[in-house]
Every structure is written in C-alpha cells, then in structure tokens.
C-alpha cells in the first residue's frame, strides 16, 4: 500500500514490536513458574526426608525404652526370687523377726502421737493466731500482711480521732472501731488502685496534697521539738521578768491598711461615728486581728515596735491615735484600757510561752523557706478592697494575763525589741 508521499505502508510491521515484547514477558513468566515449581518440589522432598528420620527416631526410642523396662523387670524378678529363697534360711528368719518388731513399735508410736495431738479445730484456730510482737502488737491481717498497732495509731491521729496526749492500746483500738475503720480504708484504697483511679489527675492532685500536708506537719513537729525546750521557755520568762513588774500595759485595737490615704479616710469615718470593730473586720489587712474587730490585747511598751509603742502609750484611754506608719502598713489605733503590770508566776504563763515559741518557730521556718525558694505571690487585683498582705507581726506574749492566748491566724506573731525574740 502506497502513501500520498510515495512511501509504502505495511500494517504487519507495526505489530512486530508488540509480538516481540509478548514473547519476552512470556519467557520471563515461564522462568518464574519453573523456579517456583522447583522450590516446591525441593521443600516437599525435604519435609518427607525429615518426617522419615523423625519416625525412625521415635521407633528407636520406643524400642530402647521397652528393652530397658524388660531388663529392669528381669532384674526385679531375679531379686524377688533370691529374696524368697533367702527368707526361709536362719538369717532371713532373724531379719524378718527384727524388722517386724521394729514396724510394730513404729506403728504404735504413730498411733499414740495422733491420739495425743491437737484436734483439727485446734490446729485451725492456732493457724489464725498472729505472731507475738511485744513492741508493736498485731491487730489484723490483710491479704497475708499483718497490721500493727502503730499503723492504726498513725491513721487515727492523722484523722483527728486521737488527742495528742492520748495513748492507744489494742483494747481501746477495737472498742472505738479504729481497727475496722483502718481495714475498710485499706480495702477501699486497694479497690481504687485495682480500678486505676490513681491515674486520674484529680486523684493525683489530692494524693500529692495529702502527702505534702503530712510531710509539712512532720517537718514542723521536728523544728518545734528542737526549738521549744524547758531551757528556752525558762530563758524567755527570765528575759521578760522585768517587764512583768515594771511600767504600764495597755489594751488596744487597730486597723492596718496599705496607704496613708486610706488611713485618713478611715480616721475620718471614725470621727463621724463609724464602728471601729466593723471597719477593722472589713478593711484591715491584719489577718490575725481583723476577725476580732482589730483587738490586739494587753502588752507593755517593750513588747512592741517603737512606732507602735509610742502611739499606744501616748494616747489616752478611749481615744484614737492619728494614723502612723510601720513596716507593716498604716495603722489606725484605739486605746481601750490601761493598767499597771504585776509579777506573774512562771507556772501561770509557762503554757502561753510554749505556745508563743511554737508559733514563732513555725513563722521563722516558713519565712526562711520562702526566702530560700524565692516565693512570689500573684494576687488578683481588686478595685473595691486592698490586696491582702502579710499580717503585722507585732505581739509578744502577755505574761501578766492568765488567760493569754495567741490569736488564731495563719501566721504567728513575731517579737521586736527583746533579744530573746530576735
């Protein structure tokens, strides 16, 4: 066939490359199939050979085992035949008599032992008895683990069920249900762990908070125990003995604010007839005295900071001192009463001094730890009320007042002038 340009067109020539490619692909497939066939035949023959060798090994093992058992049976039969031939002899009869007597004695001894032994009920009860621990009695057992009295006592004290001076005994622990409560708590805690509740973020936070609380209490107990000793109590009383006999003391209440403008505002409200106690409870930043209406209590001049003492002892009873500033803020102070001091026996103020020393030790330790750890508080800003700050630590214990007690607050008072208080 001839094209318009004079060339010849051959349709079969266009199909020749495709045919060549098909032959190449077909040849490759045949090679792959032959290789797979050889691999399958080789694997089959190898498996057959292994199976034949294994079967031969099993047959050999069974045959050797049967031959060994037959040989052992033949030896046993020969030994039994020799024994039967030996027993009728004089030596055999003597051996048989002695062995029979020995077996009879052993049998009678075992019968007597079983008759004199404890009953199954007694053995069961004895198995439930805990080991004897004179130092720390065992009161319960949970999953094979013994629970001691010390664990029950620690849990009871942590829960507030025991007073500090109270001593727990095994009898009182059961009478008050403390053992059952401890066991139930342990069982519930184990069930919570089995359910995976310890992985919950809220539970983890509560566990960490409880752990920190226990460690903090243990640390403060150790600090107080080393700081509050009979020697320190007597030394503090001796340093304050002259204060209890000389000079006057006053009872005041005060309001502490952040700046002078607010202090002037409160002073103006008091002149207008406002109630001092209500203003102290709502406006004072002293967390120790604000809930008490600003009540500070009785003190002498040497027990306060100089600025606070000057304002208190220069103001007459029933009057309000002009606002003044200390390192704790601006104060508005009212003198309630004034009286002369008198000597107080050591026995009457010993408890108050110990309380003060404990509170001062806690305050000192907390401040030292805050400074060491560089604690920074980020308090929210408020427009209607001043931000709370550290309470003014002004008071020393009033040794002349038998009913002296420190105000309930988050931080104890610290001392100012006497060297014992520094």
Quickly count: other Cβ atoms within 10 Å of residue 158's Cβ. Answer: 13
d(CA 49, CA 45): 6
Q: Do 304 and 321 form a contact (C-beta atoms < 8 A)? A: no
Which residue in 159, 153, 116, 121 sits closest to 137, CA to CA?
A: 153
Residue 264 CB neighbours (<10 A)? 15
From residue 394, alpha-carbon distances to 33, 84, 289 in Å are 102, 110, 11
Classified as helix, coil or strand, 87 is coil
DSSP 8-class letter at 131? P
Give the span between the Cα atoms of 137 and 149, in whole angstroms: 6
| 8 A C-beta contact, residue 414 and residue 421 | yes
Q: Which of 315, 308, 317 is closest to 338 using CA atoms?
A: 317
Predicted local confidence at residue 38, as pLDDT: 87
Q: What is the largest CA-CA distance in the chain?
A: 145
pLDDT for res 13: 56
Please, what sign has the CA dihedral across residues 183, 188, 191, 193? negative
Rounded-to-integer distance, Cα 366 and Cα 364, Å: 5
- The confidence score (pLDDT) of residue 293 equals 92
Separation of alpha carbons 213 and 199, rounded Å = 20
Full strand arrangement of the beta sheet holding 248-257? 295-300, 248-257, 329-340, 324-326
Distance of alpha carbon 92 from alpha carbon 87, whole angstroms:
4
pLDDT of residue 390: 45
- Residue 276 has a pLDDT of 93
Six-digit token string for 128: 């439930």
Buried b (16+ CB within 10 A) or exposed e, 118-136: eeeeeeeeeeeeeeeeeee
Hey, which residues does 324 pair with through a beta bridge? 331
What does the pLDDT read at residue 416?
34
Question: Beta-carbon neighbour count of residue 157 at 10 Å?
Answer: 14
Q: What Cα–Cα distance (Å) separates residue 421 from each residue in 238, 239, 354, 416?
A: 12, 10, 13, 6
> What ranges do the domains of the chain cover?
132-199, 230-421
Pair of tokens at residue 380: 């929210």
Q: How far apart are CA 270 and CA 101, in angstroms?
A: 115
Statement: 230-421 belongs to CATH 3.10.50.40: yes
User: Torsions phi, psi of 3, nearest 5?
Assistant: -85, 165
Q: Kindly state the tokens that stand for 172.
A: 């009182």
Residue 92 is predicted with a pLDDT of 82
Q: Each residue's pLDDT tens digit in the chain (422 positions)?
A: 555 655 565 555 555 566 666 777 777 888 888 888 888 888 888 888 887 888 888 888 888 999 999 999 999 988 888 888 888 888 888 888 888 899 999 998 888 887 776 665 555 555 567 778 778 899 998 888 899 999 999 888 888 888 878 888 999 999 999 999 999 988 998 899 999 998 899 999 988 988 898 888 888 888 888 888 888 888 887 777 655 555 678 999 999 999 999 999 999 999 999 999 999 999 999 888 999 999 998 988 878 888 999 999 999 999 999 999 998 899 999 999 998 776 677 777 788 888 888 888 888 888 888 888 888 878 787 665 555 444 444 444 444 444 443 333 333 333 333 333 33
């Amino acid at each position: 066939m001839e094209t318009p340009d004079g060339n010849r067109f051959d349709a079969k020539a266009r199909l020749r490359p495709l045919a060549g490619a098909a032959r190449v692909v077909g040849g490759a497939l045949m090679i792959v199939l032959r290789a797979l066939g050889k691999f399958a035949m080789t694997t089959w023959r190898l498996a057959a050979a292994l199976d034949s060798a294994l079967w031969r090994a099993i047959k050999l093992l069974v045959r050797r085992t049967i031959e060994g058992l037959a040989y052992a049976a033949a030896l046993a039969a020969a030994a039994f035949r020799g024994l039967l031939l030996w027993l009728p002899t004089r030596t055999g009869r003597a051996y048989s008599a002695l062995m029979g007597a020995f077996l009879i004695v052993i049998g009678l001894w075992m019968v007597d032992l079983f008759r004199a032994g404890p009953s199954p009920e007694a053995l069961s009860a004895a198995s439930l008895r805990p080991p004897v621990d004179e130092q720390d009695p065992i009161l319960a057992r949970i999953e094979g683990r013994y629970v001691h009295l010390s664990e029950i006592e620690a849990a009871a004290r942590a829960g507030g069920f025991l007073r500090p001076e109270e001593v727990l005994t095994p009898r009182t622990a059961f009478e008050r249900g403390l053992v059952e409560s401890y066991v139930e708590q342990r069982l519930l805690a184990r069930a919570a762990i089995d359910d995976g509740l310890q992985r919950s973020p809220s539970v983890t936070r509560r566990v960490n908070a409880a752990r920190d609380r226990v460690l903090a209490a243990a640390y403060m107990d150790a600090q107080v125990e080393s700081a509050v000793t009979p020697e320190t109590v007597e030394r503090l009383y001796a340093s304050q003995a002259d204060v209890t006999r000389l000079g006057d003391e006053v009872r005041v209440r005060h309001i502490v604010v952040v700046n002078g403008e607010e202090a002037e505002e409160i002073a103006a409200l008091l002149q207008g007839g406002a109630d001092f106690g209500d203003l102290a409870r709502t406006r004072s930043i002293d967390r120790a005295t604000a809930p008490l209406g600003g009540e500070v209590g009785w003190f002498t001049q040497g027990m306060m900071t100089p600025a606070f003492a000057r304002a208190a002892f220069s103001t007459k009873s029933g009057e309000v001192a002009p606002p003044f500033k200390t390192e704790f803020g601006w104060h508005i102070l009212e003198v309630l009463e004034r009286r002369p001091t008198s000597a107080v026996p050591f026995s009457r103020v010993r408890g108050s001094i110990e309380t003060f020393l404990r509170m001062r030790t806690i305050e000192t330790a907390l401040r030292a730890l805050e400074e060491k750890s560089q604690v920074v508080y980020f308090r929210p800003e408020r427009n209607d009320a001043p931000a709370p700050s550290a309470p003014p630590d002004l008071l020393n214990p009033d040794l002349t007042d038998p009913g002296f007690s420190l105000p309930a607050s988050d931080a104890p008072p610290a001392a100012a002038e006497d060297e014992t208080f520094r």
